[in-house]
Amino acid sequence: MTSSATSHARSRHVSARSNQQHARLQRIYALRTREERQRTGLYYVEGLRFVAHAVQHHIPLETLVVCHSLLDHPFAYRLVQQQKQLGTPVVEVPAAVFRDLSRVLEPQGIGAVVRQRWESLEEIRPDAELCWLALQTVNSPGNLGTMLRTSEAVGGAGVVLLDNSIDPYDPAAVRSTMGAIFSQRFVRISIAAFKRWKQHHRCMLVGTSPSAPHDYHAVTYQRPTLLLMGEERKGLPQELQALCDIMVRIPMVGETDSLNLAIATGIMVYELFNQSRLNNNPC
């Protein structure tokens, strides 16, 4: 091969690599939409905390995205080296490209494409954990992420998402979980199938509503507990209230007609957690 032919082949090789990289990045950008996340079963996480959490939870990374000029943590370097040795595809990008891909003000130069985890309701054993959340309508992905973070804090198992409600793998939801996205568990099921499941499985399905008869703090919760949290202000629709073993209210004074949904969930799961702690360590 002549020198000119070698140079030509190299440039063709570089161009093919660059095209492949461009296509990969386009696929990552596309994961911002729910449609693409649903189509591929993938999502994108960014930041050292998130990538390290995924690795800790033995969640295989489909692709690692690295920007060396932004990466300044020795631990991050080691993580990248380990992933290369494990054969994880690594896309190296310049700072401008990484910033473009990023949704934070000060990107840390590391991100990863990760496979979503979903389970069927038949697979879960709700009695093994403190509680499961069940949700139909959550308007803010950030709120959902915060609920998962709080569930993790009390040893809650995860969330049963009814019908086609909010996507926990939305970037804003993922960010608000602070890493709980990798340990919390996810089930998506139709309300009809949930109703059937409920008929054949022993559990305490607790619904919340501002006008419910029972004070949440005066109820003894029994495992397995499923906490069905309704929409802010609107509460739970009748068909779901009818399914609950008990409806409880979180009392409020003044003119307040509702709590933020993540706050209400936090108050409920800490009530369950406190009761469980007192039972395990009686005073």
Task: Report yes or no: 198 and 237 within 8 Å, Cβ to Cβ.
Answer: no
Nearer to a second copy, 35 or 257 (CB): 257
Residue from the set 154, 160, 189, 227 that interacts with a second copy by CB under 8 A: 154
Residues 6+ away with beta carbon under 8 Å from 60: 88, 115
Q: Which stretch binds a second copy (CB under 8 A): 29-37, 101-109, 239-247, 263-271?
A: 263-271
Residue with smaller CB distance to a second copy, 80 or 157: 157
Instruction: Name the packing angle between helices 48-56 and 74-85 (round to 10°).
Output: 50
Considering the complex, what minimum distance in angstroms separates the CB of residue 256 from a second copy? 4
Map the footprint of a second copy across residues 124-153, applying CB under 8 A. 146, 149-150, 152-153
**Between 188 and 227, how does the x/- string for binding to a second copy read (CB under 8 A)?**
-----------------------------x----------
- Residues near a second copy (CB under 8 A), total: 33
In angstroms, the CA 134 to CA 137 distance is 10
Nearest residue (CB) to a second copy, 54 versus 65? 54
Residue number, 194 or 216, with CB nearest to a second copy: 216
Q: Helix, strand or coil for residue 155?
A: coil
Which of 42, 180, 240, 248 contacts a second copy by CB under 8 A? 180
Q: Which stretch binds a second copy (CB under 8 A): 26-34, 67-75, 190-198, 250-258?
A: 250-258
CA distance 244 to 235: 13
Residue-wise burial string across 68-87, b where 16 or more C-beta atoms lie within 10 A, e elsewhere: bebbeeeebeebbeebeeee
Residue 106 is a binding residue for a second copy (CB under 8 A): no
Query: In this structure, are residues 222 and 246 in contact, taking their beta carbons and an 8 Å threshold?
Result: no
Q: What distances in angstroms separate CA 56 from CA 5, 207, 221, one per listed residue? A: 47, 34, 33
The site map against a second copy for 34-63 (x = CB under 8 A) is -------------------x--x-------
**Spatial separation of the C-alpha atoms in residues 243 and 194, rounded to whole Å:** 10
Task: List helix spans (H) across 57-190.
Answer: 74-85, 95-101, 141-153, 171-177
Kindly list the residues in this chain that would bind a second copy in the complex (CB under 8 A). 53, 56, 146, 149-150, 152-155, 176, 178-180, 183, 217, 250-256, 258-260, 262-263, 266-267, 270, 273-274, 277
